[in-house]
Chain A
Amino acid sequence: SAVISQKPSRDICQRGTSLTIQCQVDSQVTMMFWYRQQPGQSLTLIATANQGSEATYESGFVIDKFPISRPNLTFSTLTVSNMSPEDSSIYLCSVVEREVTGELFFGEGSRLTVL
């Protein structure tokens, strides 16, 4: 499967600041997604990162809070803006490599702690 690299792997942030997470895939993929896993919770989809157009956000997530870029088929960024302690989570970049299966593969994740 594709190698999905995320940076940073973890960070400690101050309330009110913003942080951008980068996701790099070693092959071109059409479908790229950003998920969140809050402490003790399961995974929730934030948005679909669309190449060349605006991301598609899930209910409860907005562009002002989680702006996403997808400049090409191998790279995406997620910014967590104006962070609060409730944003402390693991943020996961994920891709569907083969549309015939719909199997979703995850990067290593970025663990953010907001103080």
Chain B
Amino acid sequence: QKEVEQNSGPLSVPEGAIASLNCTYSDRGSQSFFWYRQYSGKSPELIMSIYSNGDKEDGRFTAQLNKASQYVSLLIRDSQPSDSATYLCAVNPRGSTLGRLYFGRGTQLTVWP
């Protein structure tokens, strides 16, 4: 069973703060990890992908991967109200073809002005 776990939230942070979103996964051999943002009524939008241990930064977003702990996180710096959405963690398990992703149930983030 390939599981991806996220805190459902809601996570509420003030504007300008750092939002920290966490995800754990069960398949130790997983190779590829992705964060998606999903606004209400919209389809998921890819924010970040990460493949090796450590941090990967893109603008206000930083993805962190720790394969030993089977943990991946997303930090959003200088959070804006427009960041309010559900954030989905997705994992491509070992042996899976590309595109076959297992998704967590998402963390709902609210950024208040």
Contacts and interface: CB of A to CB of B under 8 A. Distances in A.
B103 A31 contact: no
The main secondary structure of chain A at its interface with chain B is strand
A96 B44 contact: no
B113 to A, nearest CB: 27
Q: Name the interface size band of chain B.
A: 20 to 34
Interface in B38-65: 42-46, 49
A87 interface: no
B82 interface: no
Nearest to A33: B99
Interface string A20-53: 0000000000010100000001111100100000
B105 interface: yes
Interface in B84-105: 88, 90, 92, 97-101, 103-105
Interface stretch (A62-70, A71-79, A97-105): A97-105
B76 to A, nearest CB: 19
A48 to B, nearest CB: 7
B34 interface: yes
B98 A43 contact: no
30 contacts: A1-B46, A31-B98, A31-B99, A33-B99, A33-B100, A42-B88, A42-B103, A42-B104, A42-B105, A43-B44, A43-B88, A43-B101, A43-B103, A45-B100, A45-B101, A48-B97, A48-B100, A90-B43, A92-B44, A94-B99, A102-B32, A102-B92, A102-B98, A102-B99, A103-B34, A105-B46, A106-B43, A106-B44, A106-B45, A108-B42
Interface of B: 32, 34, 42-46, 49, 88, 90, 92, 97-101, 103-106
Interface of A: 1, 31, 33, 41-45, 48, 90, 92, 94-96, 99, 101-109
Given A33-B100, A102-B99, 19 more contacts: A33-B99, A42-B104, A43-B101, A43-B103, A45-B101, A48-B100, A90-B43, A94-B99, A96-B98, A99-B98, A102-B32, A102-B92, A103-B34, A104-B34, A104-B101, A105-B46, A106-B43, A106-B44, A107-B43
